[in-house]
Amino acid sequence: MKKRFTLILTFLLLMLCTYAQKASRLISINNALQYAKSYCNDSEGKYDYYKGVSKKTINGRSYYYIFVDQQPGAGWEHACKHLYISTSAVSENFMVLSEDGTHPYGNIDIEPLEVKDRYGSNSTLKAKVAKLNSNDEKKNKFVGNTYAVILSGGMNKIANDVRYWNDCSFIYQTLRNRYGIPKKNIKVIMADGTDPAADMTDENGEYSSSPLDLDDDGVADIEYSATKTNVTKVIKEMASTMKDEDHLFLYVVDHGGYDPQKKQSYICLWGDERLYPDELSGCLNTGDAGYVTVLMGQCYSGGFVNALKGNNRIIATACGEDELSYGCEDLPFDEFVYRWTSAINGYDVEGNKITAQTDTLPDGTQKPVTMVKAYEYARNHDMYTDGKFQYAAETPSLSYLNNSTAEDLAMDTIPPTVYLYIPHGNTGYVNPYYDSSKTVIRNPFIFWSSTDIWLRNQNDGFKSQQYEMPNITDEHATVYIYTRVKNRGVKVYPGKGTTLRTWWAESSVVLDEYAWKGYREDSLMGGEINYATIKDTIQPGGTYIKEFNYTFTEDRLEKAKRKGFNMCLLSFLSSKGGSPAMPVTDSGIAKAWATDRMGQKNQLKFKGFGELYDLVLMPPLLYPHEFSLVMATDNAYTSQSKANVEVSLSLPSGISDNTLLKGFRKDKQKLRYLTVNDSIAVIRGIQCKPTETAHLGITANLVADKDIISPEIRNLDIFVVDEATGEIMGGESVEITVSPRQKIVPEIDKTVLSDGNVRLTAENVNEKASYEWYDSEGRLVGTGTTLDVSSVASSSEYTLKVTAEKDNAINRTTVNVEKTPFVKNATVSRDVIDVKFSVPASNGMSARISSVDGNSPVVDYAIKEGATDISFNAPAASTKLYQLSVLLNGKIIETLKIKCE
């Protein structure tokens, strides 16, 4: 770079002779430092200052060399100044030569003049990673397929701070000791390589040769100097040997710059050489590694992302294309790469345990710390991100193929580069579990409701991807089954190596493998639909839909023609070398929740309200269970206000009356008829033998208590839980479509009739409907638009249920009928009791008279229907106080006392 010099002469010569006569004085280095700080406008002392080990002579004049780091803590390249301040001055006038720069000279040795002590006692801190136990059961199975190149360019010995050697030592020890990667698989390119000359500034501020042993085992680990020739040679040679099952890890640290002419970032190599993004990309492109991870900690590293990114590559950088990267505030390491290495090591260099967020596997163990999770940890804990630090900022970046197997890549896990799966076959590694003791759902996992398997009654499933209920007739006996498959891998699926199997079974809430395979034909039909290799190529992230068809014949056709017939579907992917058998639990239940290679579809779609559908519960064949049946409406998962749908169950006689209920309302007349009245309803203690099949009925009605403006979908999940283990055995999803309609708002008019009864009349219903009247006990007491009730028995509440003729939508309203006293008055004259009624008597009424003291007999007198009074002789008694009771059908409805004057 061409140097730009500025000559500042603060002393103006009035005349040569005058200048010669004035005496000059020597300038101390401290005077020169103060002038340098003034010259740099550094009144706050933000900069670091270094002095040349020796003075410089320029044009016969002696100068101090002062190097000013204007962004201490940042990596090179960044703003700095090279100052030459004369060692003598006339009066207070200095001679200063100044040059703006981006990094320290490599040929001028310097030493601290005024430099902040950032590390204190931590200045000598080194990484110490414990070695992996060779007998550890978690021993890395991928050590032979993991390769690494560690690159630290250094630039020159002045710029090459010891913290970069520390970074390389930390990652090297982590690869070797934490993950067991062989030395021969790791190539280290650093500064001047094996040259014994000084190539770095150590923790004491002295120039020394970088130690070649990075893991303190007595064996040299640094092999190459960081020249462009060596870098390209080593990376190309290693990359060229890579195969699909291999992972190449490139770790870059130390310095970087930005070329304004090329408008590109570059890596600073030894001796001021540069490596540009396209050059590095060319090196990596020489092989066919399954995965390539590039971690970059140098300044301007974000400028490499576009050139290096690819489907099978993870590129993580410490900063953006126009940003600097920084060292730790109080540790001799680079901030971002230090956090990243700590994450995959599990510990930082101070011995603190690091817990990077990972996912839980089906067996309950934690997934390894992946490349992506390590980045997320480093990004979140980097002290220079999100405005955490006042004077410096870096913006880490990450590039990889989202939702791909690249997310699973770790130092001890190399996932397949091609991976077909059923997208909704598994939405997360959560073991299905239900807490029956508290009758609430805990982590409900609806594994039977894949949206990527669907049935159609005609072969239009490539366009129409909504599940249909089968509609089987003699003329239409074929259904079409579709399964969506996606390539989660980072490379193209070549059209071979993976097969798809699909089974069907007659609808049941619980299905074991014997039902899917058709071995329980006596109870449920079922069997394999097809088994075929997927022969189309699928791009990374691409999808493919496979169509199978199934035709019902003979006895199966007759069964499938029944009203309410439904099919459950199960699809499973297996790769070459893997088992084509469906994975099952000890109970024989297909483990659709434990793998994204399997998808299950158990869905019931209501075609209308008020219709009764068959809900089958067939226990697993292997051993008997005691079950809970859980019904969870979509209100259990969301608080959104939706159309009010009333769901009811009818229980078969095979289910014991001793079952425990929660969240249901019993029908007073239909004792085995239950209505769901909570977001989660549970029937506990269901006992079924493996050879028994329980058939429950399920129906739904829209409660039209508000206007439905647009179509709505209500969802209900029904699932069965093993009481002994808490395991969800299976389930069925119910979809209820609610069409737009006006609300039903019935009203009840009360009219007192001449006979004293009250007539209840349904009003304000503007469509054809049926009417049912229920008393306060829930008993049906009448139908039609009117109901006549007695008001003398007692106060009572009546409920009117209105059912619309066109769609079976319902609504209810209640009314209270107050009690009217039946006896208007009662008198005693000459031992005759006269009783007058306020309303004519009803059929089945009688009067009962007795003395209060109990000394007279109790006498009953029948009251004629329609009578308005009654007279009878008062019983002989020592007291003149009588008790009169009025009975209706033998039940006392009114009592009063009569005193004889």
Mind listing the pLDDT tens digit for each residue in 291-314? 999 999 999 999 999 999 999 999
CATH superfamily of domain region 434-606: Immunoglobulins (2.60.40.10)
Q: 877 near 900, Cβ under 8 Å?
A: no
Q: In what order do the strands lie in the sheet with 891-899?
A: 859-862, 845-851, 881-888, 891-899
How would CATH label the architecture of 145-334+394-408? 3-Layer(aba) Sandwich (3.40)
CATH topology of domain 747-817: Immunoglobulin-like (2.60.40)
Three-state secondary structure of 252-299: EECCEEEECCCCEEEEECHHHCEECHHHHHHHHCCCCCCEEEEEECCC
pLDDT for res 423? 85
The predicted pLDDT at position 901 comes to 64
DSSP labels, 76-137 = SSS-EEEEEEESEEETTB-EEEEEEESS--SSS-EEEEE----SGGGGG----PPPPPTT-T
Phi, psi (5° rounding) for residue 683? -115, 115
- What does the pLDDT read at residue 432? 58
Element (H, E) at 572: strand 567-575
Domain boundaries, the chain: 6-117, 145-334+394-408, 434-606, 747-817, 823-899
Beta bridge partners of 551: 478
Axis-axis angle for helices 162-173, 335-345 (nearest 10)? 20
Residues 6+ apart with CB under 8 A from 140: 132, 146, 179, 180, 181, 411, 412
Tokens of 204: 């004491």
| Residue range 823-899 in CATH 2.60.40.1930 | yes
Q: What is the pTM of this model?
A: 0.80
In which element (H, E) is residue 482 found? Answer: strand 478-487
pLDDT at 441: 53
Task: Check residue 21 and give its pLDDT.
Answer: 39
Judge contact between 277 and 321, C-beta under 8 A.
Answer: no
Question: Please, are residues 753 and 771 in contact by the beta-carbon 8 Å criterion?
Answer: no
- The sign of the dihedral angle between the CA atoms of 87, 91, 92, 96 is negative
- Domain 145-334+394-408 and domain 747-817, same fold? Reply is no
User: Model confidence over 29-79: pLDDT tens digits?
Assistant: 999 999 999 999 999 999 999 999 999 999 989 999 999 999 999 999 999
Q: d(Cα 96, Cα 86) in Å, to the nearest integer?
A: 6
Predicted local confidence at residue 654, as pLDDT? 64
**How many other C-beta atoms are found inside a 10 Å radius of the C-beta of residue 282?**
14
Identify whether the C-beta of residue 455 lies closer than 8 Å to the C-beta of residue 566: no
Which parts of the chain sit beneath pLDDT 50?
1-22, 362, 427-430, 438-440, 442
